Every structure is written in structure tokens, then in C-alpha cells.
Amino acid sequence: MLSYVTWTASPNLIDSFVTVRWYGVMFAIGFLVGYEMVSRIFKHEGAPEKWLGSLFIYVVVATIVGARLGHVFFYEWDSYYKHHLGDIIKIWNGGLASHGGTLGILVAMWFYSRYVTHKGMLWVLDRLVVPVGLVAALIRLGNLMNHEIYGGVTDLPWGFRLVSNVNEWMNEAAPIFTPPCHPTQIYEALCYLVTFALCTWLYWRRNAQERPGLIFGVFLLGIFVSRFFIEYIKNVQVMWEVGMQATLGINQGQQLSIPFIILGVWLVVRALRRPREPLEYPNKFADEK
């Protein structure tokens, strides 16, 4: 049995006159697969097809902007970005936070619901999150390809030795390997895949969308409860979190997860206490007016 895995996969899928990174490819695949899945949901329920294009734009912009601003303000505002405002837009240098992406999508879905669907936010959120667990899993696999967001040292046989000087390594320097560490990217990806499977089952097999907020609530619990506990074995993103852990017993990622967990519990309880709202399923897009 292996005592550890030495991970030497390149972050680049293509490295020639143009560089294409696995992380970006995983993002793109996730958005395209998510678009196709939501398209089938909208068609199943007879929603207008034109809503899809608007939703795609809202989600892509909200995810990127929200995740970037989340990293800037949740993790490195005081230490870096308030002194380097021009660097906020430099997404290519890294720095995205999933909690910020979630908040960005919530804000965007408020506007989308108000100006596109003219339905309550829970209508679109219950349908949008069905594929999001899969998208999140793909992004975590992109983190694995980038040799980032890994956990503490472990003697378990599936510990990963990753390249700690990945940027220098990509410029032909010799790799410097970490000790065997928890592959928390894989742990999170597996949890997110379970969440994806559960949300898909709830929508297609249990018609849980007839209980507004139930699928969205289950999604929040699946993503953020798993994130909360995996954070205990994950390395902190910025060093000031070490003091936070010593004082509060949790890090920034866990603290940011708590409101989403509370919201998830409230949504599930609320949905189960209310009567089901039967829907019709014409299995075709609504006729254009």
C-alpha cells in the first residue's frame, strides 16, 4: 500500500504559445454543464428559453466578481488590497473566495428575479443550485491541479505531496514538495458531488421544487456543513487566521460558513412545514410572446 501520493500534475493543460490552465478549464466545463442542466429544468417546467441566456450572464459575472471581492475583503483587505487598489482587478494572479461567490450569486438572483422572471428568488435558486455542487467539485479539482488549498500533514496512505513552489516550478525550477498532506480538495469535491446527487434526486425524483426553498436549503447545508468540518484539517489561507483559530477555535472560512448553515436549516424547516405547491410540467419551453 502506498504511504503517500507524490502529485506532479502540471497546472497547465496547454503550455505553448498560449497557456491554458486546468483551473480555467474546470470553471468553463462547470458553467457549460450547469447551463445544459438548468436548460433541461426550465424546459421541463415550461419556462421561457430566453431566460437562460440572461441567467448565464448573471451567474458568470456574479460568481467571478463576488468570489474576487470576497477574497479581497474577507481575507486580504487590511494586509494588502487597501494599499494596492489597482490589484483588485488582477484575477489572473489568483484569489477567489467561494463565500464571496455565493453572496454575489444571491445578490444577482435578486436582480434576476425582479427584472427577468418576476418570481420570488427561491424559484430560481431551487433550480440553479441543482448543478452547482458538480461545478464546485470541478473547481476543487482545479485547485488540486494548481497544488493549492490543501490540508495539514498526515500519515494516512492517501496523503498527497504537492509542489509548494509551483510558480517557480512552472518556470523550470526544481520542485519543492510538501510533506504528505490531507488532499482537502478531493475531500471537498466528494462532498460537493454528494450534494449534487442529492439535489438532482430531490428535483427529478421527489419534485422537491414544489416545496419552495427546500432544494436550496439542502444545497446550503451540503456545501457549507462539509466545508465547516473540512476546514479543521485544511491549512489557513492567510496567516492572521492562525490567531483567529487560537482565539475562537475556528478560522475565517468556518465563520463565513455559519450564516449559510443557519439559512439552510431555516429554509429546510420552513419548506417542510408548508404545504406542497403542485406544479405543471409541460416539458417544453414557453412559447415566445
Each domain of the chain, given as residue ranges in start order, spans 5-273
Query: 50 and 289 in contact (C-beta within 8 Å)?
Result: no
Write out the three cell numbers for 242. Answer: 492562525
Query: 152 and 239 in contact (C-beta within 8 Å)?
Result: no
Half-sphere exposure of 113 (CA within 13 A, CB side): 16
Average pLDDT on 18-41 reads: 94
Q: Is the pLDDT of residue 84 over 90?
A: no
- Give the model's pLDDT for residue 171: 86
Half-sphere exposure of 244 (CA within 13 A, CB side): 15
Nearest to residue 130, comparing CAs of 41, 26, 28, 32? Answer: 41
- Give the model's pLDDT for residue 96: 86
- Phi then psi dihedrals of residue 45, to 5 deg: -100, 0
Q: In whole angstroms, what is the distance from residue 269 CA to residue 7 CA?
A: 43
What pTM, to 2 d.p., does this model score? 0.95
What percentage of the chain reaches a pLDDT higher than 90? 84
Average pLDDT on 58-85 reads: 92
Q: In whole angstroms, what is the distance from residue 113 CA to residue 117 CA?
A: 5
| Cβ-count burial 69-83 (b if 16+ within 10 Å, e if not) | bbbbebbbeeeebee
Query: 100 and 76 in contact (C-beta within 8 Å)?
Result: no
Angle, CA of 220, 244 and 152, to the nearest 5°:
75
- What residues does 160 pair with on adjacent strands? 5, 181
- Give the model's pLDDT for residue 16: 81
Q: In whole angstroms, what is the distance from residue 107 CA to residue 169 CA?
A: 39
- Give the model's pLDDT for residue 2: 63
For the ranges 3-7, 41-45, 112-116, 271-275, the lowest mean pLDDT is seen at 3-7
Distance of CA 126 to the CA centre of its chain: 16
- Give the model's pLDDT for residue 170: 87
Band of pLDDT at residue 239, cut at 50, 70 and 90: confident
Q: In whole angstroms, what is the distance from residue 201 CA to residue 118 CA?
A: 27
Q: Is the pLDDT of residue 284 over 80?
A: yes
Query: 182 and 233 in contact (C-beta within 8 Å)?
Result: yes
- Give the model's pLDDT for residue 285: 96
Dihedral (CA of 163, 19, 100, 33) sign: negative
Residues 171-208 pLDDT 10s: 889 999 999 999 999 999 999 999 999 999 999 999 99
Rounded to whole angstroms, what are the CA distances from 61 to 64, 66, 131, 159, 274?
5, 8, 17, 36, 34
Q: Is the pLDDT of residue 86 over 60?
A: yes
Q: Look at 65 and 170; give whichever has higher pLDDT.
A: 65
What's the one-letter identity of residue 201?
A: W
Dihedral (CA of 278, 280, 281, 287) sign: negative
Query: 169 and 163 in contact (C-beta within 8 Å)?
Result: yes
Q: Is the pLDDT of residue 289 over 80?
A: no
DSSP 196: H
- Give the model's pLDDT for residue 172: 86
- Give the model's pLDDT for residue 1: 55
- Give the model's pLDDT for residue 67: 93
Query: 166 and 176 in contact (C-beta within 8 Å)?
Result: no
Average pLDDT on 265-274 reads: 98
Q: In whole angstroms, what is the distance from residue 214 CA to residue 267 CA?
A: 6
- Give the model's pLDDT for residue 287: 85
* Secondary structure of residue 97 in the 3-state scheme: coil
